Amino acid sequence: MIPSNLLNITTQIDCLEGMSYLPDESIDLCLSDPPYNIGLKYKDYDDKLTEKEYWLWMRNIFIQVHRVLKDKYHLTFTCAQKQIWPFRDMLEDIGFKFRHLGVWHNPKRKAGSWPGIWPYSWEAVMDFTKGKKYRKLNNGNSVGYMDVWVEEECKGYDHPAKRPIEMWCDLVKVCSFPGDTVLDIFMGSGSTAEAVLRNGDRDYIGFDIDEYYVGMSNDRHAAIKKEIDNVDI
């Protein structure tokens, strides 16, 4: 069984250690946002590994994600454009199946922001499933959930890589079902916590190594829960 002290909270822990406490096939959706290894300024984490170190680290992490995820269920995450191909090859080698490539376009990023190079206006939303068969998405009667999101990153949290919250809520909605447990191994400011709370009827497990972001995510959880419940908790 999943230890109950890991549920609906972000725990300060290395994600590999965190996953060691999770039983095989106990997770219904892994939704995450790994560091892009582009030198972003996090509080603690140094986002500048060598390519070799980075991909070895990712491989070890996603072997564990494969272990804890239920067969046929979804692994969905954002990554940089240049990471699309190495992630697909690595994850298919581990035993995932590539399902879909979506796009997050941030309209704040304009041509000319980086003179001389292509504007970096979109990031990839990758979807895989464990094994060759797949659990159908939870988008039955809806035409509203597409695979291109045009949205600015979430405002108001001191974190360099926040996800847009409407997109993140859509991903929780379509890639999981009521009763599910959603795992985010790189919780950061708490976007997955908020998206799970806003969708309702789901649990989440969150890991981050950085004390400051863990506090931020848990404060965010408390604020969103209070807003939803409209009561003090």
Ligand X SMILES: C[S@@+](CC[C@H](N)C(=O)[O-])C[C@H]1O[C@@H](n2cnc3c(N)ncnc32)[C@H](O)[C@@H]1O
Residues lying near ligand X in the complex (CB under 6 A) are found at: 14-15, 33, 35, 42, 45, 159, 161-163, 186, 188-189, 191, 207-210, 213
Asked if 183 contacts 33 with a C-beta cutoff of 8 angstroms, the reply is: no
Q: How far is the CB of 46 from ligand X (least distance, A)?
A: 9
Q: Which is nearer to ligand X, 71 or 152 (CB)?
A: 152
Q: Which is nearer to ligand X, 35 or 102 (CB)?
A: 35
Q: Give me the count of residues in the chain.
A: 233
Q: How far is the CB of 147 from ligand X (least distance, A)?
A: 19
Q: How far is CA 206 from the centre of its chain?
A: 10
Q: How far is the CB of 84 from ligand X (least distance, A)?
A: 16
The two tokens of residue 203 are 């649990």
Q: How far is the CB of 185 from ligand X (least distance, A)?
A: 6
Q: Which is nearer to ligand X, 15 or 29 (CB)?
A: 15
Q: How far is the CB of 33 from ligand X (least distance, A)?
A: 3
Residue 13: strand, helix, or coil: coil
Distance CA 162, CA 184 (A): 13
Sheet holding 10-12, edge to edge: 10-12, 203-208, 181-184, 27-32, 69-79, 122-130, 96-105, 148-150
Find, among 211, 163, 218, 224, the residue nearest to 31 by Cα.
163
Distance CA 40, CA 220 (A): 22
Q: Which is nearer to ligand X, 31 or 91 (CB)?
A: 31
Q: How far is the CB of 81 from ligand X (least distance, A)?
A: 15
Residue type, 216: M
One DSSP character per residue, 109-164 reads S-TTSSTTS----EEEEEEEEESSS-PPPS-TT-SS--SEEE-PPPSS-S-TTPPP
Residue whose C-beta lies closest to ligand X: 188
Q: Which is nearer to ligand X, 136 or 155 (CB)?
A: 155
Q: Which is nearer to ligand X, 24 or 46 (CB)?
A: 46
Q: What contacts 118, CB < 8 A, 6 or more positions away?
A: none
Q: Which is nearer to ligand X, 9 or 71 (CB)?
A: 9
Q: How far is the CB of 140 from ligand X (least distance, A)?
A: 27
Asked if 186 contacts 42 with a C-beta cutoff of 8 angstroms, the reply is: no
